[in-house]
Amino acid sequence: MKKIALYTLFIFFSISCGSSKKMVNKGQNTTYKKEVYTIHPQFVVFNISDTLSELHFKIASKELLYTRPDGINFSSNVLVSYRLMPSFDSREIVDSSSVRVVDENNTASDKNLIGKINIHALAHHTYYLRVTVADLNRNITVSNVLPIEKVNDLNRQNFIVKSKATDVPLFCNYTKTGEEVSIKYKAKIGVNVYVRYYNRNFPLAAPPFSLSEAEPFKYKPDSTFVLQMSAEGNLNFTATRKGFYHFQLDTTKRDGLTLFNFSELFPDVKKAEDMVNPLRFITSKQEYDDLTYSTNKKVSVEKFWINCAGNQDKAREAIRKYYTRIQDANLYFTSYLEGWKTDRGMIFLIFGAPTSIYRTAISESWNYGEENNINSLQFSFTKVLNPFTDNDYTLERSVVYKQSWYTSVDNWRQGRTYLQD
């Protein structure tokens, strides 16, 4: 069994983003469901050399069961294991191991268990890593499949980003204005790092029945600047503007590391002005314009929901559900734009978490309802090759979704949801 390097445990309250032609087990169908008795581990892969990669993980203590096996101290009992495979659906195992994480927590404080495992993965290959996290005290297991890209030395997995304040990896692809982070490259080289800055206002995802073509992304940056990497392969960075920053060692390629800066409170939605934009999915143009140009957006948003739900109590519950889904969409689906704006985020927001999910290396298929039932609803998403993110998926749109879409939107406008949650 390989040793685990367990960072100093610390209190960290925010949950960040996260999530790979064979079907996976239905045991993964709760990936996008916030159930009480489950675990939502987060992972980051860092290729430290041509032969080794690191799997960094974060597990929230509040999602674990602490027991007293010695009758005195409360402790967790978590097993993190992995299998490295040459392809998504392969039965061949290139490397495997497991580590046990035991944390004493007699004060029941909220903190994150953060550590890393070394993985033997060779350069010039693409692998798939199936990671399983088991809470042995509660007998709950979750698994995830992560790609490990070692085809070249320029992609995002050859960098690791850490908070300067905590020296702990960021388990998301976004930062905030004024937050200082450290970026480390796999090799010790003192070179120029070229940064492309983009400040784009991307439109919301089109409805699932819309067959209009999305405009292609314009790769020309709004501005560029150069940073100097130290001889140890490190540099410090602080985002000063909203938008996203693409760090490159070779500007003739599109590969690199990207950090996004969406808003000060992201992924949460707490300001009244941030609550207006997501309502575009369920409002008419006139309603949306009235909300957008309102001088008191907080009152206008509350009035909209009261009109939908019929009374203040039902409106409060509808607001809770709608904006909880938005925040969850930001955690799960954020790519080069906020998670709720993406195709998967849109479907998740309007229809809720799917009943079951089937994944391949390049796709996800979401099913709502009983399998093989003619009345069930299914959405298919295809992974997009994107130099800025590996979490970009596009929906296969069809006119057959039109009635289901309007039915679900109408449910929201009555203060109800497609799937009651």
Nearest to residue 138, comparing CAs of 275, 258, 37, 277?
37
Q: Within a domain: residue 167?
A: yes
Same domain, 276 and 310: yes
Q: Within a domain: residue 49?
A: yes
Same domain, 228 and 166: yes
Q: Within a domain: residue 203?
A: yes
Same domain, 128 and 26: yes
Q: What is the pLDDT of residue 7?
A: 40
Give percent of the chain above pLDDT 70.
91
Distance, in Å, from the CA atom of 314 to the CA atom of 195, rounded to the nearest integer, reads: 48
Same domain, 76 and 110: yes
Same domain, 239 and 296: no
Structure tokens, 286: 């006139």
Same domain, 11 and 147: yes
Same domain, 278 and 207: no
Same domain, 293 and 395: yes
For 111, residues 6+ apart whose C-beta sits below 8 A from its C-beta are: 9, 10, 11, 12, 61, 105
Q: Where are the alpha helices (DSSP H) in 334-366?
A: 343-351
pTM value? 0.88
- The domain that holds 33 is classified in CATH as 2.60.40.10
- Domain termination residue (choose one: 123, 151, 179): 151
- The residue type found at 272 is A
Tokens 């080069």 sit on residue: 336
Query: Mean pLDDT, to the nearest integer, of 226-244?
Result: 95
DSSP 8-state code for residue 337: S
**Between residues 7 and 223, the one the model is more confident about:** 223
The answer on pLDDT for 83 being more than 50 is yes
- Using left for φ > 0, alpha for ψ between -120 and 50, and beta otherwise, residue 139 falls in left
Q: Where are the alpha helices (DSSP H) in 246-311?
A: 272-276, 285-292, 297-309
Q: Within a domain: residue 421?
A: no
- Find out whether 87 and 99 touch, Cβ atoms under 8 Å: no
Q: Within a domain: residue 156?
A: no
Same domain, 310 and 408: yes
Tokens 């599109």 sit on residue: 254
- Domain termination residue (choose one: 261, 293, 312): 261
How many domains are there within the chain?
3
Strands 363-368 and 356-359: antiparallel
Question: For residue 1, what are the CA distances in angstroms to 4, 6, 119, 147?
Answer: 9, 15, 12, 23
Q: Within a domain: residue 267?
A: no
Radius of gyration of the chain measured on its C-alpha atoms: 22
Q: Which residues pair with 194 in a beta bridge?
A: 226, 248
Same domain, 32 and 134: yes
Which helix H or strand E contains 332, and what residues bound it?
helix 312-333
Same domain, 224 and 304: no
The answer on pLDDT for 24 being more than 80 is no
The answer on pLDDT for 22 being more than 70 is no
Q: What is the pLDDT of residues 192-212, one digit of tens each?
A: 999 999 998 888 899 999 988
Range of the domain at 21: 1-151
Distance, in Å, from the CA atom of 158 to the CA atom of 46, rounded to the nearest integer, reads: 6
Which helix H or strand E contains 410, and what residues bound it?
helix 402-412
- Find out whether 411 and 403 touch, Cβ atoms under 8 Å: no
Q: Within a domain: residue 420?
A: no
- Find out whether 199 and 240 touch, Cβ atoms under 8 Å: no
Same domain, 290 and 396: yes
Q: Within a domain: residue 266?
A: no
Q: What is the pLDDT of residues 35-74, one digit of tens each?
A: 655 889 999 999 999 999 999 999 999 999 999 998 899 9
Gap between the terminal Cα atoms of the chain: 41
- Find out whether 2 and 119 touch, Cβ atoms under 8 Å: no
Q: What is the pLDDT of residue 421?
A: 53
